[in-house]
Structure 1
């Protein structure tokens, strides 16, 4: 069963698509009225589902004339995508962020659904059975190795 966050995300993505995937500018309060929710629900959706690793840049201005601007970032070449994602990984990475990066690879058609599922399974905490912060360091190294392998097929 879908929740309000799913509906808000879907609405924003479809509106962005109608705008040619270029830019979407909305008012937080108007969106909250549309979905009959509190503005903090809008903030939650934006901050968790429109992140840089998922391919979005979000700009926000609070106040009476405030807005939220969502920009879809698309790489011109696969190598640009790989380089960008490698920069996002860093020396440590948590499981959710790693999964977001893999889903971005899938959405950009850099990997198949099966390959994405394999990547996610290898990065899972149930497989990397070591204590933090070592687990996040190993996950980072493994993810970087996979992206570099894709980059230089």
Structure 2
């Protein structure tokens, strides 16, 4: 059985795909009511599943009941997206954060499933030698290097 977070994510993505607009405006409280959950559960899904590195931009509007606007990032230039991702990686990155970026690239059809699996393997802690002291720094270097190669082939 799917977790509630997965169900909410799928529901929002279906709404985005079926929308004729490049953005989706939803009421957080209404969505929480629909799924019989706390509004904080909706916030959790939005902040973890709809991030800029996964190709989404979230705006919150307060007042009058409030609403959330979800936009699919439409980068006019792959260099813009590349800069966003490289900035997100920084000088070190955890494996879980790397996975989010890698999955976002796959969902955005920038990398294939095979490339996705390769990137996950080469950034995994088990891939690094036990003597590597700063795995997160090495992981960031490897991930940035691979992403530069991927984006150079796109342009």
TM-score normalised by length of structure 2: 0.86
How do residues 1-153 of structure 1 correspond to structure 2 at under 5 angstroms?
1-20=1-20, 22-62=22-62, 64-129=64-129, 134-153=134-153
**C-alpha distance in structure 1 between counterparts of 2:56 and 2:130, whole Å:** 32
**Where in structure 2 are there 5+ consecutive unaligned residues?**
none
Q: Is the 8 A contact 1:21 1:72 kept in 2?
A: no
Aligned residues: 153
Query: How big is the shift at 1:108?
Result: 2.5
**C-alpha distance after superposition, 1:114-153 (max 9, x if no partner):** 1110101111122235699821111110001101122334
2:141 partner SS: helix
Query: How big is the shift at 1:64?
Result: 4.9
Q: Is the 8 A contact 2:106 2:113 kept in 1?
A: yes
RMSD: 2.2
**C-alpha distance in structure 1 between counterparts of 2:23 and 2:5, whole Å:** 20
**Where in structure 1 are there 5+ consecutive unaligned residues?**
none
Say which is worse superposed, 3-12 or 130-139, in terms of deviation: 130-139
Q: Is the 8 A contact 2:102 2:116 kept in 1?
A: yes
**C-alpha distance in structure 2 between counterparts of 1:23 and 1:106, whole Å:** 21
**C-alpha distance after superposition, 1:50-98 (max 9, x if no partner):** 1111111111234552111111103344444333322322111121221
Q: Is the 8 A contact 1:51 1:57 kept in 2?
A: yes
